[in-house]
Amino acid sequence: PHKKIIVITDKNVNRIYRKYFSKFPSIVLEPGEKTKNLQTIETIINKLLVLGADRHTFLVGIGGGVVCDITGFVASVFMRGIDFGFVSTTLLSQIDASIGGKNGVNFQFYKNIIGTIRQPSFVICDINMLTTLPEKEIRSGWGEIIKHALIADSFLFDKITRFNQNIFQFEHDFYLDLVFRNIHIKTSIVNNDEKEYGERKKLNFGHTIGHAIEKLTDLSHGESVVLGILFSVWWSKEQMFLPQSDAMAISKFLNKFNLNQPKELSAEIILDVVKKDKKKYHDSIDFVFLEAIGRASVKRISLMTLSKAIEAYFRDKQTRKMP
């Protein structure tokens, strides 16, 4: 763009890729979810003013989901909105967080409770950047890959379950196809329902419980979503929406993550966090159920009904690995 460019990134990305954007002024953040708050936004805006940013400045967020969220939010509110774009560097960001126009920050105990919906001018996804990621970051992206496959693409689910190598080790052609397919799934849904009045709600599959687990534990976003998916699959099966055979196939694949339900969690603690979820509607919440691999539906349920389901799921107080 023929504008003044300012880069927003984090220390990890800056260490690896700084030479590629060294001619532009940069704002370098601490990495991690704890950075995604209003204090960071205030700090960035102060730095933008010092750098002489104006309404014609173009912000480029280079990083993962946190950097993209923060960059998009700052660009949406600074001087009532300036242009921005993303260079997405993590698997989670390339297949989900940088796509769709949601830009938000956390506040107190609430995740992404303050934010905007505003589309970037571009999103660049270079899968070669994934080669620099530790396995934990790759695993985090897989929560969203599985979600997309389960709600919208049975062929993708079949593809990833038949892959006979370690899914957490980068293999160029496999990951190139994964990123392409997931971008297509999410953009197709967002293009039909940008403001989340209907179909886009399906993208919350696994997230109602997943966000609570993420808030309460040290698990990554993707790992938390996987546990949220396990609950959603179990409940979909219990409600007779999802065939037993599909539930078993999903459970078998998710065992690759070797995740145990954290012992410190209980139905009461999780429900308390869910009550702060932005998807809540009075005393109800929109919950995404699975009807088959590749097909989901959204149903408004009471928090009381959800509470009873969570209690049933946790009743035995033991580690749970499958629905």
CA distances from 26 to 4, 7, 56, 114, 164 (A): 12, 5, 17, 24, 42
Predicted confidence band of residue 272 (pLDDT cuts 50, 70, 90)? confident
Where b means 16+ CB within 10 Å and e means fewer, 167-201 reads beebeeeebeebbebbbebbeebbeeeeebeebbb
Task: Give the bridge partners for 104, in sequence order.
Answer: 115
- Residue identified by tokens 């190139």 is 176
pLDDT at 242: 97
The pLDDT of 228-233, averaged and rounded, is 95
**pTM of the predicted protein model:** 0.92
pLDDT at residue 316, as a whole number: 52
- CA distances 34 to 60, 116, 215, Å, are 21, 19, 11
pLDDT in tens, 118-153: 999 999 999 999 999 999 999 999 999 999 999 999
Asked if pLDDT for residue 92 goes beyond 50, the answer is yes
Give the model's confidence band at 177: pLDDT under 50 very low, under 70 low, under 90 confident, else very high: very high
Q: For residue range 273-320, list pLDDT tens digits in order.
A: 888 777 788 889 999 999 999 999 999 999 999 999 998 988 754 544
- Tell me how far CA of residue 229 lies from CA of 112, 187, 210, in angstroms: 20, 21, 7
- Residue 258 has a pLDDT of 87
Domain range 134-314, CATH class: mainly alpha
pLDDT on residue 1: 56
Residue-level pLDDT at 318: 53
Q: What are the b/e assignments for 116-141, b being 16+ CB within 10 Å?
A: ebbebeebebebebbeebeeebbbbb
Which segments of the chain does DSSP mark as H helices, in order?
11-17, 38-50, 65-77, 91-92, 135-152, 154-162, 172-192, 207-216, 221-238, 244-254, 267-274, 303-314
Residue 144 and residue 101 in contact, taking contact as beta carbons nearer than 8 Å: no
Output DSSP code: residue 33: G
pLDDT mean across residues, the chain? 92
The CATH number of the structural domain formed by 5-130 is 3.40.50.1970
Amino acid at 256: K
**Average pLDDT, stretch 216-242?**
94
